Structure 1
Amino acid sequence: RRRLIKYIIQNPTTLDDQTVKQIGSDLWQLQMLERYDLYRYWLLKYQQYLHYSVREARHAYNQAASALAEYYQEEDYYILKDSIIVAMTTTCAAKYHDVLEKLQSKIVIVEEAAAIFEAHIITALSTKCEHLILIGDHVQLRPSPSVYKLAHKYQMDVSLFERFIKNNFPNVRLNMQSNFLLFNQQC
């Protein structure tokens, strides 16, 4: 019995569609190995059918997911289009780049710009951007890449904000900073 199982596992079916059509309807007339060969043939055909079905289902799912994502982006655009100010994280800006592009924002303000990777700021910009305002402290904060070799070799630990300042790009510095105190009014 073990030899038979080992044989079945090691030797794939040699039957093809023509040979199977020639086999009669009485399977008991076949030798044991021929029956196992036929069984493996049926298994192979069933696996091919399942593989095809899963591939088709995956394709249909991907199309539906893509259509749904497009619908949600369109919905987000209609929610944001009449807004005066749109605020989001750089991760969200990358995710909603198409929506931001449709909004055609002319002014983009980036807070804590010294701690944000250059690529994250660039992805937040649309082609209609006329003014980029970067706010931050390039002396105290820097981006912190997770791979030291890449950071050192490609200077990824230097933000766009710091590059602008080091290259004498027009900038304004605050001499004194004060924090807003927020008070809750009770009625």
Structure 2
Amino acid sequence: MVDDVEEGVSLEKLLEDVNQLAIDQEESLDEFYLTDRKWDIVRESEVERNIILLGSGYKIYTKTWSCAPRQKTRQQLPSLIEAFRIACERLKSAQLRKEAEVLRRCLVIFATTTGAAKERDLLAKIRCRVVFAEEAAEVLEAHILASLVPSVEHLVLIGDHQQLRPNPSVYDLAREYHLDVSMFERLVRNGYPFSTLKVQHRMNPDITENIIRPYFYPELIDDASVLEYPLVPGMEKRCFFWMHEIKMAVELISYLTKQGIGFDE
């Protein structure tokens, strides 16, 4: 029946032939109903088949329609990314030129070593000739080197290599490769010429007399201004030593050495 329907047999003609066949064969109403129901089944199957075909066609159409622009976009994406990268570089270059033009008018530019390394391109455009590094004994050598652009002619390191050292993040690397030694300390210990302040204008004379001159800088002189510092109200003297902590530290070191721990550990 499905084949007949597909060949163009009309519904009325097919139903008429079925009814005539039922009359000729004297079929019962129930049998005729079954015959009529068979046609209903055929008709419903035809409708369902058309719906399935329509759905399949819709899926193919939507898939084709959605894939076409997607494929086109995928082909254009590399060129768009490259154009965006070029635009970002041009914007960054324009910003650097603008900032460099402003900073060239300044006599002194302050920055941390991290900021100097981050803005190295900007410093190169400014063409600084002199760099001062404060607390240079506490700065990693790599940070100092990162701050030096090709235009630098003089590097002035200010600090005290006999006090605090740099503090690397990885202890094992610091110990193996001496990362805790600053450029300042390395140059001094290798005989590079340096200058030491002879007069101090800040510390109380009791501090220089009991700590600084005996252990660090024997030739350090107190300026006359520090000799006029008044006593702290309520205090007997200006310099105190916590003897109980000193004794405890000595006993702790003695105990550890008796356990086999060397002084270099």
What's the TM-score, normalizing by structure 2? 0.48
How far, CA to CA, are the matches of 1:108 and 1:171 in structure 2?
A: 16
What pairs with 1:51-130 in structure 2 (closer than 5 Å)? 51-52=74-75, 55-130=78-153
**Shift of the alpha carbon at 1:170?**
0.7
DSSP 3-state at the match of 2:150: coil
1:75 CA drift (Å): 1.0
- Structure 1 counterpart of 2:211: none
Which amino acid letter does the alignment assign opposite residue 195 of structure 2? V
The unaligned stretches of length 5 or more in structure 2 are 1-49, 203-265
Aligned length: 153
Matched residue of 1:128: which SS? coil
3-state SS, counterpart of residue 132 of structure 1: strand
Q: Is the 8 A contact 1:114 1:162 kept in 2?
A: yes
Alpha-carbon spacing, 1:58–1:178, altered in 2? closer, same or farther (3 Å): farther
User: Which residue pairs with 1:23 in the alignment?
Assistant: none
Q: Give the fraction of aligned pairs with identical amino acids, expressed as a percent.
A: 36
Map Cα deviations across residues 37-91 of structure 1 (whole Å, 9 max, x no partner).
9987877766655555655544333333222221111111101112221221112
- Over aligned residues, Cα RMSD in angstroms? 3.2
Does the 8 Å CA contact 2:97/2:125 hold for their aligned counterparts? Answer: no
1:147 maps onto 2:196 in alignment: no
Runs of 5+ unmatched residues, structure 1: 1-25, 180-187
* d(CA) in 1 for partners of 2:142, 2:60: 58
Partners of 1:112 and 1:126 lie apart in 2 by: 20
Residue deviations 1:15-39, cap 9 Å, x none? xxxxxxxxxxx9954997x998998
Taking structure 1 as reference, are residues 57 and 111 closer, same or farther at Cα in structure 2, changes over 3 Å only?
same
2:112 maps to a residue whose letter is: T
* Residue number among 146, 170, 183 corresponding to 2:193 in the alignment: 170
Distance in 2 separating the partners of 1:163 and 1:114: 9
Secondary structure in structure 1 of the residue aligned to 2:200? coil
Distance in 2 (CA, whole Å) between partners of 1:172 and 1:149 is 33
Query: CA offset at residue 110 of structure 1?
Result: 0.5
Query: Which one scores higher on RCO, CA 8 angstroms, separation ≥ 6?
Result: 1
1:22 aligns with none
Offset at residue 129 of structure 1 (A): 2.0
Please tell me whether Structure 1 or Structure 2 has the larger radius of gyration of its CA atoms: 2
| Cα pair distance change 1:50/1:154, threshold 3 Å | farther
CA distance in 1, matches of 2:102, 2:195: 34
CA distance in 2, matches of 1:175, 1:66: 51
Distance 1:39 1:141, change over 3 A: farther
Q: Give the deviation of 1:175 after TM superposition.
A: 3.5
Find the counterpart in structure 2 of residue 159 from structure 1.
Answer: 182
TM-score for the superposition, normalised by structure 1: 0.65
Cα distance in 1 for partners of 2:184, 2:134 equals 10
Q: Is the 8 A contact 1:101 1:127 kept in 2?
A: yes
* Aligned residue runs from structure 1 range 20-59, under 5 A: 28-29=52-53, 48-49=71-72, 51-52=74-75, 55-59=78-82
